[in-house]
Amino acid sequence: MTAATWPTPSRGTMFTRAIRRRCPRCGGGPLFRHWIRMAPRCPRCGLPFSRNEDGYHLGAIWFNLLFAEAVSITVFLVTIWRTWPDPPWAILQVTGPIEAILAPVFFYPFSKTLFLAFDLIMRPVGSLVENRDH
């Protein structure tokens, strides 16, 4: 099957595959050579993982920031709620910044594949298939 004729999966399937760090279109992998280094194309269906557009990678960065902030705020608020009226302010002051640094590093590969799935939903594969020679 060529890259242009690969069937389009459902949105749920695409996001499920992305969470597993697999190609959202075909489920192929592995997509990452290292924790943060993504292959240029899917090894199974040939889908390019990047578009040659200014700012394209900002989408993955936005997904990463959204997740990191959501985790940090959730942990902070749940800790305060569960320990009220005496929250562990000293512990929160130390763990908060550590968590804010580690969460984006941990979530980075997931943000790349989740943004790819989101992008494929918003701009279908036909507009993504590029010349395989470059």
Distance CA 29, CA 19 (A): 12
Cβ(95)–Cβ(51) under 8 Å?
no
Q: Any idea which residue has 């959501």 for tokens?
A: 70
Contact at 8 Å (CB) between 39 and 59? Answer: no
pLDDT (0 to 100) of residue 131: 41
Per-residue pLDDT tens over the stretch 109-131: 999 999 999 999 998 766 544 44
Residue type, 83: T
Bridge partner residues of 134 (DSSP): none
Give the alpha-carbon dihedral of 68, 15, 17, 22, to 10 degrees.
-60
How far apart are the C-alpha atoms of 85 and 78, rounded to whole Å?
13
pLDDT digit string, tens, across residues 46-69: 888 887 777 788 999 999 999 999
